[in-house]
Amino acid sequence: MNRHAIVAEIPRLRRYARALTGDVVRADDLVQDTLERALGKWSLWRPGNLRAWLFSIMHNLFVNQVRSPRLIEYPGDEALPELPVRENQGDALELRDFARSLSRLPEEQREVLLLVGLEDLSYEDAARVLGVPIGTVMSRLSRGRERLRALLAGSEPAETHLKAVK
> Residues 116-144: pLDDT tens digits?
888 888 899 899 889 999 999 999 999 98
Q: What is the mean pLDDT of residues 50-66?
A: 84
Rounded CA-CA distance 66/70 in Å is 8
Q: Which value, to the nearest 10 degrees, does the dihedral of the CA atoms of residues 137, 138, 140, 144 take?
A: 130
Fold designation for 3-152: Butyryl-CoA Dehydrogenase, subunit A; domain 3 (1.20.140)
> How would you label 52-88 residue by residue, b for 16+ Cβ within 10 Å and e otherwise?
bbbbbbbbebbeebeeeeeeeeeeeeeebeeeeeeee
List the chain domain ranges.
3-152
